[in-house]
């Protein structure tokens, strides 16, 4: 049986959106969701009312519903949330869903991260909110933070000292110091191995991303990588939580992803330019492949500033997008059951803002 809020929007769409004069696309829904998120972050009650139906409903994590007025009432407390739209789906010509994750840097765990879905109905040629449903998602609590001032970092056990330019190696080429599996295990042999100064996935091993044992807010991250044929991986940052789909245990970090792939062999990269190396996975399209031929080393750079993020691949800008709400998180290397190697991983915190 469909959840109550989905039955609601399909019922509404049946009588108010049965006939459509123009064809709508998933991109139209995406823009409508982005406009709604902006109204929430601005705590703009008038704009929220304009973008939703009068009979819109707010559904709690437990499924309890409230009126459209409740959405405007709660919006001011949601304005510090950062949202990431993960998927948009057209249910029919007059109904659609936008699904994603949110994080609130001002809230306390476990109420600082969660999932959302916005149900839309098309009315008079415009997509409007029919229901808002949210849930809480526990972020991986195994990631520790280092609150020591920068001057004391060199004394941390197993930490590689920073250089005079502010760059600090995140991988020493010999040990897994500074890294944890997403399940919190410091041993990486089951899913990852270290060889020739590289962190290497074990494709046949359990799927388990790696996380830095500290969090970073504004930073530059540089790393080298190369893949085997048909491989797929990524480097994730601005994390929202952990994916435990069908397992009950954390396997993958959920967040923004710098895509890494065999652009000519990975099915996703071949069919969708948003899945090519250097892209913000699933969001930005890379017009042409910037990756070097299979088996050669690539150089990547991620810049996370206060107001925007940049992806660079082999000296070329491959993606750029604005930041909504900054928050510190760990950095993750993705295990995607394929052969990928990382080396020369280093970070430079900006404005001395890291923890």
What average pLDDT is seen over the chain?
85
Query: What is the model's pLDDT at position 148?
Result: 33
Give the residue-averaged pLDDT of 282-301. Answer: 93
Residue 158 CB burial class (10 angstroms; 0-12, 13-18, ≥19): exposed
| pLDDT bucket at 7, cuts 50 / 70 / 90 | low
Query: What is the model's pLDDT at position 343?
Result: 98
Query: What is the model's pLDDT at position 82?
Result: 94
| Whether pLDDT at 312 is above 70 | yes
Residues 6+ apart with CB under 8 A from 264: 270, 289, 294
Asked if residues 137 and 116 have their Cβ atoms less than 8 Å apart, the reply is no
The neighbour count for residue 5, using CB atoms within 10 Å, is: 21
Give the up-direction half-sphere exposure of residue 344: CA atoms within 13 A in the CB hemisphere. Answer: 10
Q: Measured between alpha carbons, how far is 342 from 169 in angstroms, rounded to an integer?
A: 13
Query: What is the model's pLDDT at position 154?
Result: 33
Indicate the range of 11-15, 136-140, 188-192 predicted with least confidence: 11-15
Q: Measured between alpha carbons, how far is 308 from 331 in angstroms, rounded to an integer?
A: 17
Residue of higher predicted confidence among 136 and 169: 169
3-state percent breakdown (helix, strand, coil) of the chain, nearest 5? 15, 40, 45
Residue of higher predicted confidence among 112 and 340: 340
Task: For residue 78, give both structure tokens.
Answer: 């949601």
Query: What is the model's pLDDT at position 221?
Result: 98
Degrees (nearest 5) of the Cα angle 84, 87, 89? 140
Q: At 350, is the secondary structure helix, strand, or coil? A: coil
Q: Measured between alpha carbons, how far is 143 from 123 in angstroms, rounded to an integer?
A: 45
For residue 307, the 8-state DSSP code is S
pLDDT digits (tens, 9 = 90+) for 57-116: 998 887 788 888 888 888 888 889 999 999 999 999 899 999 999 999 998 887 889 999
Peptide bond into 110 cis (omega under 30): yes
| Whether pLDDT at 143 is above 80 | no
Task: For residue 313, give both structure tokens.
Answer: 């691949």
Q: Measured between alpha carbons, how far is 256 from 301 in angstroms, rounded to an integer?
A: 14
* CA-based nearest residue to 261, from 292, 287, 305: 292
Q: At 281, is the secondary structure helix, strand, or coil? A: coil
| pLDDT bucket at 150, cuts 50 / 70 / 90 | very low
Task: For residue 222, give both structure tokens.
Answer: 């540089």
Q: Measured between alpha carbons, how far is 94 from 62 in angstroms, rounded to an integer?
A: 27
Query: What is the model's pLDDT at position 163?
Result: 63
- What predicted TM-score, i.e. pTM, was given to this entire model? 0.82
What domains sit in the chain, N to C, each tagged with a CATH number? 4-136 (3.10.450.50), 150-349 (2.60.120.560)
Asked if residues 330 and 214 have their Cβ atoms less than 8 Å apart, the reply is yes
Indicate the range of 4-18, 109-123, 272-286 predicted with least confidence: 4-18
The neighbour count for residue 103, using CB atoms within 10 Å, is: 24
Sheet (strand 232-243) strand order = 179-181, 210-212, 332-333, 232-243, 252-261
């Amino acid at each position: 049986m469909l959840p109550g809020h989905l039955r609601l929007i399909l019922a509404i769409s049946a009588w108010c959106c049965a006939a459509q004069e123009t064809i709508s696309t998933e991109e139209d829904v995406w823009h409508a969701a982005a406009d709604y998120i902006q109204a929430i972050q601005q705590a703009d009650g008038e704009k929220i009312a304009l973008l939703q139906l009068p009979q819109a409903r707010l559904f709690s994590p437990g499924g309890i519903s409230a009126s459209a007025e409740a959405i405007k009432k709660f919006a001011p407390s949601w304005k510090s949330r950062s949202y990431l739209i993960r998927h948009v789906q057209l249910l029919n010509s007059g109904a659609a869903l936008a699904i994603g994750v949110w994080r609130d840097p001002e809230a306390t765990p476990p109420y600082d991260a969660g999932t959302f879905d916005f149900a839309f109905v098309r009315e008079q040629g415009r997509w409007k909110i029919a229901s808002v449903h949210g849930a809480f998602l526990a972020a991986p609590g195994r990631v520790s933070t280092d609150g020591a001032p920068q001057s004391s970092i060199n004394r941390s056990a197993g930490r590689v000292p920073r250089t005079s330019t502010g760059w600090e190696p995140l991988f020493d080429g010999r040990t897994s110091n500074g890294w944890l599996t997403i399940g919190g295990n410091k041993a990486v042999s089951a899913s990852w191995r270290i060889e020739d100064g590289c962190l290497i996935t074990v494709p046949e091993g359990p799927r388990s991303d790696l996380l830095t044992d500290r969090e970073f807010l504004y930073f530059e991250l540089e790393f080298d990588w190369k893949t085997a044929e048909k491989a797929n991986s990524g480097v994730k940052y601005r994390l929202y939580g952990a994916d435990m789909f069908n397992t009950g245990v954390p396997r993958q970090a959920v967040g923004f992803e710098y895509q890494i792939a065999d652009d000519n062999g990975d099915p996703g990269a071949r069919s969708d330019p948003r899945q090519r190396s250097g892209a913000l996975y699933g969001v930005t399209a890379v017009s042409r492949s910037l990756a070097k031929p299979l088996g050669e080393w690539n150089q990547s750079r991620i810049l996370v500033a206060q107001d925007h993020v940049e992806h660079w691949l082999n000296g070329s800008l491959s993606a750029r997008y604005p930041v909504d709400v900054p928050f510190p998180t760990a950095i993750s290397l993705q295990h995607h059951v394929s052969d990928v190697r990382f080396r020369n991983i280093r970070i430079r915190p900006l404005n001395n803002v890291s923890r």
